[in-house]
Amino acid sequence: MRKIRHIIPFLFLTVLFRPVPAQNQPPGNVRWNGYTQIRFTSNFNDVNSFSMRRMKFWLTSAKGFNNHWGFKIQTTISSNHNESFLLQDVYATYQLHKVKLRIGQFVPEFSLQRFQPDYVVPLAERSAVVNALIPNGSLGARDIGLEGGYTGPGKKLQTWLGVYNGYGIKRYQLNYQGILLTQKTAFLYADNHLYSGYSVMYRKADQLQLKSVLPDSVLFTGNDIRFNIFTRFITGKWQFQAEYFRASLEQKMADGYYILASLTLSKNQIVTSWNKYNDLIANTDNNPVIHFGYNRLVNGNKLKLMVDDGIRFTRQSIDNQFLTLQMQLFFN
C-alpha cells in the first residue's frame, strides 16, 4: 500500500502533462513553486549546527485549469527527517459558487497560525502549542479525508467541516477503528482589520502515539476532544495575533496559548511572542518561552534573512536560550 501511495502522484503528473493539441491547450493551467530555509542554531553551549530546515516543492492548478476542478501536490525534504522526501499534500478540489470541497491528503482546517504558511510566519517556527495541539500535530500534520468549506460575501464569514481517517500520515492503517471530525468558523470585521474565530475537533482514537502531548511510551485509545479560539488584528504596519488551545483526552487536560506582535518598517520586521504550553508529560518543562526576532525582507518573503532568539524562563532565572539564524529563498 505504501508503494501505491508513492506511485499515485507520478501517475497524476503523467495525466496532467499528457500531449494535447496546441490550439486546445489552456495557457498557464498549471504552476509550480518552491522554497528552502537554511539555518544555523545555537544554544550558546553544546549545540552549534547548520541544517536545512525544509525544502518544499508544490504543483497546483492555475486559473485556466478547469472551471470547477483543481489540485495540489506538495513534497518536502528536511534535515529533521534524515534528508528524505516526504509526500505532504495530494488532493483535488471542486468549487461551485461559494462552496469548495477538498478530498485527499491535506491539513485539516484548525487554528490560525497553522494556516499561515511557514514562509510567512515571522519567527523561525510556529508556536509549540500549535505544533502539539492541532489534530495531527505529531502525526504528520496531514490526514486523509473529505472537507467542505463555505465563504460568504466579502469573506466576512468562512466555515469548514471535515471528516478524516484520524491517524495522520506517518503510517497507513487499513483496519483503523477511529475517526476524526473537525469544524472551524472565522469572521472578518472592523473594516477587514479584525479576523477571529474558533476550531473544534473530535477524534475516536485507536492506539495513537500522541507525541508532545503524552509520553512516547503511551498509546492513546479513547475520546480526544480539542478546542481552539484565535484572533488577528492588522492596522498599518502593526500586526497582533493570539490563540488558545485546549485538549481533553479522557478527561486529562493539556492546554496553552501564544501572543505574537510584529512591526514592519519597509524591509525591516521586528517580532516578539510569548508562548505557554502545558502538556501531559510529567518530566517536561512547561515554563513560558519568549521570542525576540528581526527579519530583513530583502525581497519580501522570497528572500528573507531571519534572527530568532528564544528564551525559556523559570521563576528564578533564564533556564535556556537558543538562537536561530535563517535564510529563506524562493525558487520561482
Q: What percent of the chain has pLDDT over 90?
A: 80
Q: What is the DSSP string of 138-161?
A: TTTS-EEEEEEEEE-GGGSEEEEE
Element holding 13 (H helix, E strand): helix 2-16
Residue 203's nearest CA partner among 108, 123, 282, 283 is 108
For 175-232, what is each residue's pLDDT tens digit?
888 999 999 999 999 999 999 999 999 999 999 999 999 999 999 999 999 999 999 9
Pick the most confident of 124-133, 164-173, 277-286, 310-319. 124-133
pLDDT at 27: 52
The predicted structure's pLDDT at residue 13: 43
- Threshold 0.95, pTM exceeds: no
pLDDT in tens, 255-280: 999 999 999 999 999 999 999 999 99
Are 280 and 252 contacting, i.e. CB atoms less than 8 angstroms apart?
yes
pLDDT exceeds 70 at position 2? no
Say what the pLDDT of residue 171 is: 85
102-136 confidence digits (pLDDT tens): 999 999 999 999 999 999 999 999 999 999 999 99
pLDDT in tens, 59-102: 999 988 999 999 999 999 999 878 788 999 999 999 999 999 99
Q: Write out pLDDT tens, residues 139-161.
A: 999 999 999 999 999 999 999 99
Q: Look at phi and psi of residue 188 and say left if phi exceeds 0, alpha if psi is from -120 to 50, else beta.
A: beta
- Is 24 a residue whose pLDDT tops 80? no
- For the chain, the structural domain boundaries read 97-330
Which of 306, 286, 195 has its CA nearest to residue 242? 195
Q: What is the pLDDT of residue 285?
A: 86
For 65, other C-beta atoms within 10 Å of its C-beta total 17
Q: What are phi and psi of 79, to 5 degrees?
A: -65, -25
pLDDT digits (tens, 9 = 90+) for 225-255: 999 999 999 999 999 999 999 999 998 999 9
Domain 97-330 has CATH 2.40.160.10: yes
The answer to whether residue 19 scores a pLDDT higher than 80 is no
Predicted confidence at residue 45, as pLDDT, reads 86
pLDDT at 327: 98
pLDDT for 173 equals 83
